[in-house]
Amino acid sequence: MSDPEQPQLYLLTPPVFELSVFPDQLASVLDAHDVACIRLALATRDEDRISRAADACREVAHARDVAIVVNDHVGLAERLGLDGVHLSDAAKSVRDARKALGPDAIVGSFCGTSRHDGMTAGEAGADYVAFGPITGLGDEAAADDALFAWWSEMIEVPVVAEGGLTEATVKRLCRITDFFGVGEEIWGDDDPAAALARLMIPLD
């Protein structure tokens, strides 16, 4: 990732993982790739499980100078020594999260396919907005290339492309997004680091 024009990698954890296995998988990916940030994206709302997972992943991330944020749990982000929070409710909680965590924390906002929500989140103090999915399932709306092209031209807030990434979509979006949010695309592979390398071939 020596080209400053190229998007950076933003890694999402699986929604469920084994604490005895995943930290080593995460370490192998971080050792093989230049990752800007990790999101603890667990499906559970159980604070004890999230806390134990956060402790393990934070140790791996911070040992490699990689930031780590957690989905939605503003209170846990501060308590567990994480670098910030990723909010999944578009722009609704951005201002409150910024107030709670202070100016130095990372506050990100998932805005689906809504340009309006993205702009509102940016105005409320988000450090980045995420649009997705890039590839929709069934009747699910997908964030199209035009949204990223417009955003990259008109808005200074960094943007993340996430959800159903493929080598083809990476190739299409690599000049109009700041980050690729990669998660489920690689963790089911026997070698997640190699899977990530294949996915990002268009950046070579």
Full-model pTM: 0.95
Is the pLDDT score of 156 beyond 50?
yes
Binned at pLDDT 50, 70 and 90, residue 18 comes out as: very high
Question: What residue ranges do the domains of the chain occupy?
Answer: 8-203
Instruction: Give the dihedral sign, CA 173/143/54/194.
Output: negative
Question: What is the average per-residue pLDDT within 58-84?
Answer: 97
How far is the C-alpha of 84 from the C-alpha of 169, rounded, in Å?
28
Q: What is the pLDDT of residue 122?
A: 97
Query: Which structure tokens are listed for 193?
Result: 């680091």
Question: What is the average per-residue pLDDT within 160-175?
Answer: 97
Question: What is the average per-residue pLDDT within 167-174?
Answer: 97
Q: What is the pLDDT of residue 1?
A: 30
Alpha-carbon distances of 65 from 37, 45, 77, 159, rounded to whole Å: 9, 27, 17, 21
Is the pLDDT score of 68 beyond 70?
yes
Domain spanning 8-203: CATH 3.20.20.70: yes
- Between 55 and 140, whose confidence is greater? 55
Q: What is the pLDDT of residue 138?
A: 77
Q: Please provide the average confidence, as pLDDT, over all residues in the chain.
A: 95
Alpha helices in 33-73 (DSSP H): 47-63
